[in-house]
Amino acid sequence: GPYLKVSRTHASDYVQRGRYAGKLDYTLSADTEWLSIALGRGFSNLTDHYTALNLWVYGDGSGNQLSFLYTGDTKSDLRLPVTLLDFTGWKQVSVTLPQAFTLSGLVVNAPPTVDSDGNPITADTPRTGTVYIDQITAAFPGTVDNTPDRKS
């Protein structure tokens, strides 16, 4: 289906901080336009004074795009790119937030590209994969919190 399977793992290779990490299993298919989405009330609403989200991402080297799904002032289902999954292992990422930002989910998609004639196409990336996310913290610009969250 079009949904990202979100679960929790405590496997030490996939936990960057604390005891658990989020595990995202995705499948990209033509009928969902190479997109996989996880929506959830479990995603917190951040107050406006935070300007960035810092997180650790365990990439799968697929070249697919990981993004936050969010609601702005007047529109919902907006995408904010987190990172291109062109690496394997852990990487710390900082994402600058727009002024109006309510986190509503996560998205993995095959990124757009162009063919040899310059026509827009979808990148020929792996259509299934697993990535991990850990230690998501809201921050002011330039601050990083590496203290393990007791819940994670």
| Distance between CA atoms of residues 74 and 49, nearest Å | 19
What distance in Å separates the CA atoms of residue 67 and residue 100, rounded to the nearest whole number?
Answer: 16
pLDDT at residue number 35: 79
- What's the average model confidence in pLDDT over 34-40? 79
pLDDT at residue 137, as a whole number: 82
| pTM, entire model | 0.81
- The pLDDT of residue 152 is 43
Q: What is the mean pLDDT of the chain?
A: 83
Is 143 or 7 the better-scoring residue by pLDDT? 7
Q: What is the pLDDT of residues 72-118, one digit of tens each?
A: 888 888 899 999 999 999 999 999 988 888 888 889 999 989 999 99
Confidence of residue 1 (pLDDT cuts 50, 70, 90): very low
Mean pLDDT over 11-27 rounds to 84
Question: What is the rounded average pLDDT of the residues 64-68?
Answer: 95
DSSP letter at 48 equals: T
- The full length of the chain comes to 152
- Work out the average pLDDT over 131-148: 74
The more confidently predicted of residues 32 and 2 is 32
pLDDT at 21 over 60: yes
Instruction: Output phi, psi for 104, to 5 deg.
Output: -125, -5
Look at the block and give the residue holding tokens 């609403």: 45
